[in-house]
Amino acid sequence: MQRRLHLNNDIVNEQRPDDVRNCRATEPISFRRIHRCVPGIVSALFFIGSAHLTWGQEPPDSHNTPSNRFVALENEIEKLRASDAQSSDVKRLIAIDVELRDQTSETAKQIQQSVLVALAEQGTAVSLEHLRSVFETQTHRRHDAAYAISVAAMDRPTDDQDWRYLVRSLMVVEGRQAVSVLQSLGRFRRRATKAAWVRQVILIALTLPEQDLPAALELLKFWTQHTPAPQGLVKDQLADYQAWFRDSYPDEPKPKLPVDMAGSRWTYNRLSGVLADLKSDRTSIAAGEVVYSRADCQKCHRRGNMKGQPQNNQLGPDLTSLGWRRQPKEILMAILYPSHHLNDEYPVTTVVLKGGMSVSGLMMPDERAGLKIVGSDGMATRFKRADIDETLASNVSNMPTGLLERLSLREIEQLMAFLSAQTGDADPHD
Ligand code: HEC
């Protein structure tokens, strides 16, 4: 199978036949080899990028125009990639990354991506530490950092810390970056122990083109030790893992992609433009706060140290540091499809009472009756333990679906701006 550099699919796909010939590989990728195979592609990437660049918000400098600066950086990175790991090279690569930190142009982003890959190739303790720090502190680059970590770990699949970053990244990586993460995870000796991680690999596999499915299937086989019928097509093997997962973990949400409610106005696909052009200006954020209040979010969620928050808003997670924890696409998914990823801390229980009545929601202690169930409408049903006939775990979230339906596109943009800007430190709530 041919493996390719995944920096930019469009350009990489224009690989010349002679590059392709030199790059056939049956083993998972080694980035040193990729570098030897496709230096021209990396250069082409920068060249094309530089041709229409804008240098963020910085005023152009007549001596050092944006394009000159990018081309210079690109050449420098090429040289650094070709040289053997030296601490000065690593320092310089990190300095370039920091220098580009506030740049928003596509070209700057691509250069940053290639800096991360170059750091992965260097493979020193300091360079790997930088990748981990980008993963932790620059949420919007988490997938790029994970991809670089997967590259570094491909040759050295031994560090438990890398393994954990790669597993966490399963929530955000897509396409070819996801394939690299899956391949890399498959090289570790450690296997996933949580059903949610296995499910996440199945969910990623459902989004991959057929030719990329083997990477996911191999990892599933290794993690689950379950072997699907060998004569099946790769798609059938994936379906086999879905069925196996349902049987093995009946209490987990089903391993399938979320389905939009019939007739819903706002779907993930329709709102993907909001993600591509996420606002971060103060006016949008302030307007988003108003939308947040009007849409009843604070009925269940706490946020910051807001005075006067209703006392019962503990029905959902604290959103104070949401923007650190989650990428905008994860936030949008969480709002559109609340039951797709359930949070263990807010388990929904269905209680059948002896009189035959049944209620679902979050079960909590109650001062008066002993227990109460708080439903998604915020209403509490109180009862005594002795009244319970049966309790059942539910995998339908207490967070209602369709919360965005009443909002306009502009309001959703503002709400997303506001939510992504929640990057405070969550105070412990007693
Ligand atoms: C009735 C309670 C309720 C309401 C109302 C509600 N949520 Fe939630 N929300 C939850 C629960 C419970 C979860 C945890 C998911 C789960 O396991 O069910 C959650 C999860 C989330 C998450 C994911 C948080 C994380 O830590 O990853 C986001 C984001 C979110 N809600 C945003 C909103 C927004 C925005 C609104 C208003 C439009 C809203 N929620 C209204 C209960 C609620």
pLDDT at 121: 92
Sign of the CA dihedral running 222, 236, 178, 416:
negative
C-alpha to C-alpha distance for 36 and 349, rounded to whole angstroms = 57
Asked if 419 contacts 292 with a C-beta cutoff of 8 angstroms, the reply is: yes
Asked if 333 contacts 370 with a C-beta cutoff of 8 angstroms, the reply is: no
Quick: pLDDT tens for 81-113: 887 767 889 999 999 999 998 888 889 999 999
pLDDT at 297: 94
* Residue 335, pLDDT above cutoff 80: yes
User: How far does residue 402's CA lie from ligand 1's centre (Å)?
Assistant: 12
Burial class for 375, CB neighbours closer than 10 Å (0-12, 13-18, 19+): middle
Asked if 166 contacts 142 with a C-beta cutoff of 8 angstroms, the reply is: no
Please give the backbone phi and psi of residue 353, each rounded to the nearest 5 degrees, phi first: -90, 160
C-alpha to C-alpha distance for 193 and 32, rounded to whole angstroms = 32
Enter the DSSP assignment of 5.
-
Closest C-alpha residue for ligand 1 atom 24:
317
- Distances from the Cα of 348 to the Cα of 48, 275, 301, 381, angstroms: 52, 30, 16, 14
Among 291, 294, 300, 360, residue to substitute to test ligand 1 (most atoms within 8 Å of Cβ): 300
| pTM for the predicted model, two decimal places | 0.83
Q: Which of 202-206, 311-315, 412-416 has the lowest mean pLDDT?
A: 311-315
Quick: pLDDT tens for 413-427: 999 999 999 998 765
* Residue 33, pLDDT above cutoff 80: no
User: How far does residue 355's CA lie from ligand 1's centre (Å)?
Assistant: 31
Fold designation for 9-186 = Leucine-rich Repeat Variant (1.25.10)
pLDDT at 232: 76
pLDDT band at 250 (very low <50, low <70, confident <90, very high): very high
* Residue 308, pLDDT above cutoff 70: no
| CB 77 near ligand 1, within 6 Å | no
User: pLDDT higher for 194 or 310?
Assistant: 194
What ranges in 3-141 are assigned the alpha helix state H? 9-12, 17-22, 31-37, 39-51, 66-82, 87-99, 106-122, 125-137
| CATH number 3.40.630.30 given to 348-394 | no
C-alpha to C-alpha distance for 372 and 366, rounded to whole angstroms = 6
User: How far does residue 5's CA lie from ligand 1's centre (Å)?
Assistant: 38
Alpha-carbon radius of gyration of the chain: 24
Closest C-alpha residue for ligand 1 atom 3:
399
| CB 376 near ligand 1, within 6 Å | yes
In sequence order, which residues have a C-beta less than 8 Å from that of residue 429 and are 6 or more positions away?
302, 314, 318
Quick: pLDDT tens for 109-123: 999 999 999 999 999
Q: Per-residue pLDDT averaged across 339-352, rounded?
A: 94
Sign of the CA dihedral running 30, 94, 73, 166:
positive
CB atoms within 10 A of CB 317: 17
Q: Reduce the secondary structure of 236-261 to three states and give it as a string.
A: HHHHHHHHHHHHHCCCCCCCCCCCCC
Quick: pLDDT tens for 130-160: 999 999 999 999 999 999 999 999 989 999 9
Percent of the chain predicted with pLDDT > 90 = 67
